[in-house]
Amino acid sequence: MNAASSPARAEIVVDLGAIRHNIRRLRELVAGPQVMMVVKADGYGHGICQVARAAREAGVEWLGVATIDEALTLRADGDTGRLLCWVAVPGEDFGPPIAADVDVTAYSTDQLAEIVAAADRAGRFARVQLKFDTGLSRGGAPRAEWQALVDAAAAAERTGAVRITGLWSHFACSDEPDHPANAQQEQAFRDAVELAEKAGLQPEVRHLSNSAGALHRPSARFDLVRLGIAAYGLAPAPAVASSKELGLIPAMTVRGRTVLAKNLHAGDGVSYGHTFVADKEMRVALVPMGYGDGIPRHASSTAEVSINGRRGKVLGRICMDQFVVAAPDARAGDEVILFGPGDDGEPTAQDWADACDTISYEIVTRIGGRQRRTWTNGSDE
Ligand SMILES: *Cc1c(COP(=O)(O)O)cnc(C)c1O
């Protein structure tokens, strides 16, 4: 490996070409609805603005984020397309998103009243989407409050304060396509849309599905699908279909270089607490990343990395800045890949998630800390 191609001490490399590829692939798979790329939480750790630009290049009609701050970050970056946000606490200032032509979400009549007041102050109408709780019991108006919300929304629309642009909800179990909650939620959503339309609302978009719903429940695609994890190339329902089976390419690679390689003797304990003890002479390498960089401590003694094309297990506890791996022929300075697309035998973020008993979302979203992050354009032409 020459110096120019050798990886940094610790780095995250995001392939924006993979993201564009995934969006095109997903559009083929879901055939029909508009696509919203969800770029909340710094684009699931991939870089909110870089991912948003790549997604627009690939033709997504909508971007979705959780917070108002995230939406304004995208506007400050120059994005002018349709953009929805959905988490605001009482008293938050809806003026800036209204002025920036961001669609905001109302969960309750109180929240709608705050949006109307902000629109009146701003002297322009707010684009508002109403969220109905179909059974996740998280955000959204419960059934008992829905009629009041849609009536209030219709009244506010008549005054010109708001335009109700969307009606939406969110699945609880879409990664388990056979779970009975999916059909119940879909029916509850249809009923809620009907009530809203009876109240006089004519939304531009009705939407219910995240990645797993969009891929595995065709009846729930409605006008728009909200794609997060699948657009980053990871499987939304790994028990149903892997990323490879879906034709998706994981966009994030986490890699670095080993600090040191050395031999241990039988009986040597490794890392804090000596939770791993060598039972024979073995060669190990030291990786300069730890939980301070978002490497999950739950991966202690379970996850694997790739060094010189060979898999090696994490030995003992992941520390704040470093961890030890088994590496039969390692030398100091070797390239170590924690996870990547998986094409050259390296682990994937899904492998790390399995090792930590979590989901790939958490692996990629938490990664960061002191790692250098760069973006490449891959080859999606
Ligand atoms: C995060 C999020 C999504 C995207 O979910 P994925 O499973 O990553 O596709 C969609 N909708 C809402 C409301 C979300 O919070």
**Domain holding 294: CATH number?**
2.40.37.10
- 207 and 279 both lie in a single domain: no
Which of 179, 198, 231 represents a domain boundary (last residue)?
231
pTM over 0.85: yes
Residue 143 inside a domain? The answer is: yes
Asked about 272 being catalytic, the answer comes back as yes
What is the per-residue burial (b if ≥16 Cβ within 10 Å, else e) of 290-328? bbebbbbebbbbebbbbbbeebbbbbbbbbebbbbbbbe
Residue 53 inside a domain? The answer is: yes
Which of 167, 197, 231 represents a domain boundary (last residue)?
231
Burial (CB count within 10 angstroms: exposed 0-12, middle 13-18, buried 19+), residue 263? exposed
Residue 236 inside a domain? The answer is: no
Ligand 1 centroid to Cα of residue 105, in Å, is: 14
- pLDDT category, 5, cuts 50, 70, 90? low
Asked about 131 being catalytic, the answer comes back as no
Distance CA 312, CA 265 (A): 17
**Domain holding 223: CATH number?**
3.20.20.10
Residue 5 inside a domain? The answer is: no
- 257 and 346 both lie in a single domain: yes
Per the prediction, the chain carries an average pLDDT of 96
Task: Check residue 378 and give its pLDDT.
Answer: 82
Bridge-based pairing of strands 126-131 and 104-106 is: parallel
- 79 and 205 both lie in a single domain: yes
Q: Which domain holds residue 354?
A: 252-376
- 65 and 203 both lie in a single domain: yes
- 69 and 211 both lie in a single domain: yes
Contact between 342 and 244 (Cβ < 8 Å): yes
Index of the ligand 1 atom closest to the CA of residue 229: 8
- Integer angstrom CA distances of residue 162 from 112, 295, 315: 9, 44, 57
Strand, helix or coil for residue 229: helix
Residue 240 inside a domain? The answer is: no
The Cβ of residue 354 has, within 10 Å, a number of other Cβ atoms equal to 17
- 81 and 158 both lie in a single domain: yes
Pocket mutation for ligand 1, best pick of 215, 226, 232, 361 (most atoms within 8 Å of C-beta): 226
Q: Is 271 in the pocket of ligand 1 (CB under 6 A)?
A: no
Alpha helix stretches (DSSP H) within 173-224: 180-198, 211-216
- 187 and 109 both lie in a single domain: yes
- 160 and 79 both lie in a single domain: yes
Residue 204 inside a domain? The answer is: yes
- 205 and 77 both lie in a single domain: yes
Task: Check residue 2 and give its pLDDT.
Answer: 41
pLDDT of 381 over the 60 cut: no
Mean pLDDT of 217-246: 98
Residue 308 inside a domain? The answer is: yes
53 phi and psi angles, rounded to 5 deg: -65, -40
Mean pLDDT of 44-67: 98
Mean pLDDT of 202-222: 98
- 262 and 306 both lie in a single domain: yes
Index of the ligand 1 atom closest to the CA of residue 174: 7
pLDDT of 6 over the 80 cut: no
Which of 162, 197, 231 represents a domain boundary (last residue)?
231
- 195 and 129 both lie in a single domain: yes
- 64 and 205 both lie in a single domain: yes
Residue 125 inside a domain? The answer is: yes
- How many structural domains does the chain have? 2
pLDDT tens per residue, range 88-134: 999 999 999 999 999 999 999 999 999 999 999 999 999 999 999 99
Q: Is 211 in the pocket of ligand 1 (CB under 6 A)?
A: yes
